[in-house]
């Protein structure tokens, strides 16, 4: 998890599940088929920045600025008042785009270095570029350069049209942009009726603890998109499973786990932010590390005794006589039973202690 300053996207509900917003100088891709709300996303994002004292740069390959602002108005965003003061447009068709990427944008970045005002960048949509350049290698190079250049201005939001074939989750033509982006959200429309008609999923978000659910969203005139999220598990709630983790770590050590496995478990403990118990994950992980099958209770007891023989003397000073007798007899207690099941960590823990 990063402590880096986050920039709110202004997309209601989204920031809650991405640690408060995007990181500066990164790209966020919004993927979705026609009518899912990509342009609404873009306007909302830009508008938030403008309303908070930032500049905006809108790059379009299809529509002229007047049309974009007209559509914005219909969605409830009045961009007119910022036009050519804080909000600038680049309108560039198909192949001209290469010139834009090679010359105009780098020049703009250079110029912008003298400004302290942050610029939020939007490309809506990127699609004509991917259509104009058929060669995948060239496409990749242009997109790489475009993203690299724009990121120097500020946080960038790019939309791209998807044309998924039946059964495909994400169409092939959006794989390159997704791959090149720091973050990606997927908007889907399912004509199934009811609340889940439209849903958002976070495909990826570099260096961010992000929500992993399918979030329904709605359109609200005057706001734009409202993503119906619940906030992620709070910092206090993240500590809820510490005891269980501590037991698991001790148990793993007792089962002979190596240093790296123990470190990994400690890392998982620190980063567990899911709203469910880690028990099942730990069981599966223990098994994958061979920490269940190989060891019988006797073997554990034997190892324990070996490693304790020196420890016990040290511990004696702290333990009462009764406790140490109990510990010693627990260790010596022979057991005919077979495999240990991590199923009940606390049982195992008690037995070992
Ligand atoms: N305020 C709104 N109320 C109801 N529906 C809306 C609203 N805003 C947008 N929509 C619906 O979403 C559709 C697509 O929005 P848009 O952002 O243009 O999608 P995309 O850019 O993905 O094609 C609109 O055509 C409209 O049907
Ligand atoms: Mg659109």
Q: Give the Å distance between the CA of 159 and the centre of ligand 2.
A: 8
pLDDT digits (tens, 9 = 90+) for 116-128: 888 999 999 999 8
pLDDT digits (tens, 9 = 90+) for 136-172: 999 999 999 999 999 999 999 999 999 866 666 676 7
Q: Which atom of ligand 1 is nearest to the CA of 43?
A: 17
Strand order in the sheet with 198-205: 87-91, 55-60, 119-123, 156-161, 27-32, 183-189, 198-205, 215-220, 224-227
Probe residue for ligand 1, chosen from 32, 35, 62, 226 as the CB with the greatest number of ligand atoms within 8 Å: 35
Q: Which residue has the tokens 């830009």?
A: 46
Which helix (H) or strand (E) covers residue 90, if one does?
strand 87-91
Q: Which atom of ligand 1 is nearest to the CA of 42?
A: 17
Q: Give the Å distance between the CA of 157 and the centre of ligand 2.
A: 13
Dist CA 310 CA 333 (whole Å) = 19
CA atoms within a 13 Å half-sphere pointing along the CA-CB vector of 125: 22
Q: Which atom of ligand 1 is nearest to the CA of 33?
A: 22
pLDDT band at 293 (very low <50, low <70, confident <90, very high): low
Dist CA 225 CA 220 (whole Å) = 6
Ligand 1 interacting residues, C-beta cut-off 6 A: 32, 34-40, 75, 219, 221
Q: Which atom of ligand 1 is nearest to the CA of 125?
A: 21
Which helix (H) or strand (E) covers residue 95, if one does?
none
Q: Give the Å distance between the CA of 91 and the centre of ligand 2.
A: 15
Q: Give the Å distance between the CA of 297 and the centre of ligand 2.
A: 63
pLDDT band at 113 (very low <50, low <70, confident <90, very high): confident
**Is the Cβ–Cβ distance between 48 and 9 less than 8 Å?**
yes
> Which numbered ligand comes closest to the C-alpha of 36?
1
Task: Name which residue sits closest to atom 14 of ligand 1, judged by CA.
Answer: 35
Q: Give the Å distance between the CA of 105 and the centre of ligand 2.
A: 23
**Is the Cβ–Cβ distance between 67 and 48 less than 8 Å?**
no
CATH superfamily of this structure's domain 6-232: P-loop containing nucleotide triphosphate hydrolases (3.40.50.300)
Task: Name which residue sits closest to atom 10 of ligand 1, judged by CA.
Answer: 219
pLDDT of residue 257: 92
Between residues 329 and 267, which one has the greater pLDDT? 267
Dist CA 239 CA 234 (whole Å) = 9
Q: What is the pTM of this model?
A: 0.75
The full length of the chain comes to 353
pLDDT band at 317 (very low <50, low <70, confident <90, very high): very low
Q: Give the Å distance between the CA of 216 and the centre of ligand 1.
A: 15
Residue 21's alpha-carbon distances to 9, 13, 84, 221, 351, in angstroms, are 6, 10, 26, 22, 47
Domain spans in the chain, listed from the N-terminal domain onward: 6-232, 236-352
The DSSP call for residue 278 is S
């Amino acid at each position: 998890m990063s402590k880096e300053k986050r920039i709110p996207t202004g997309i209601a509900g989204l920031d809650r599940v991405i640690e408060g917003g995007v990181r500066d100088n990164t790209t966020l891709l919004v993927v979705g088929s026609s009518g899912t709300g990509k342009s609404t996303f873009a306007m909302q994002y830009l508008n938030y920045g403008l309303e908070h004292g930032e500049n905006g740069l809108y790059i379009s390959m299809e529509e002229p600025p007047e049309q974009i602002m007209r559509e914005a108005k219909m969605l409830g965003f009045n961009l007119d008042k910022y036009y050519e003061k804080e909000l600038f447009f680049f309108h560039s068709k198909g192949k001209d785009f290469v010139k834009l990427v090679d010359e105009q944008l780098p020049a703009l970045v250079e110029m912008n270095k003298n400004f302290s005002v942050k610029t939020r960048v939007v490309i809506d949509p990127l699609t004509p570029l991917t259509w104009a350049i058929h060669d995948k290698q060239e496409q990749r190079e242009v997109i790489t350069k475009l993203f690299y250049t724009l990121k120097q201005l500020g946080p960038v939001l790019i939309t791209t049209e998807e044309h998924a074939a039946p059964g495909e989750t994400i169409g092939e033509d959006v794989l390159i942009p997704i791959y090149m982006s720091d973050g990606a959200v997927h908007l889907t429309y399912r004509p199934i009726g009811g609340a889940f008609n439209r849903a958002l999923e976070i495909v990826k978000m570099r260096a961010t603890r992000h929500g992993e659910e399918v979030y329904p969203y709605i359109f609200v005139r005057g706001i734009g998109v409202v993503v119906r999220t619940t906030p992620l598990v709070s910092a206090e709630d993240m500590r809820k499973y510490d005891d269980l983790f501590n037991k698991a770590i001790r148990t793993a050590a007792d089962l002979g786990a190596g240093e790296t496995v123990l470190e990994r478990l400690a890392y998982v403990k620190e980063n567990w932010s899911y709203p469910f118990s880690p028990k099942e994950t730990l069981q599966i992980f223990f098994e994958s590390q061979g920490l269940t099958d190989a060891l019988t209770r006797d073997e554990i007891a034997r190892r324990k005794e070996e490693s304790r023989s020196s420890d016990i003397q040290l511990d004696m000073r702290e333990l009462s006589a009764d406790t140490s007798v109990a510990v010693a007899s627990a260790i010596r207690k022979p057991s005919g039973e077979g495999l240990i099941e991590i199923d009940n960590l606390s049982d195992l823990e008690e037995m070992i202690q």
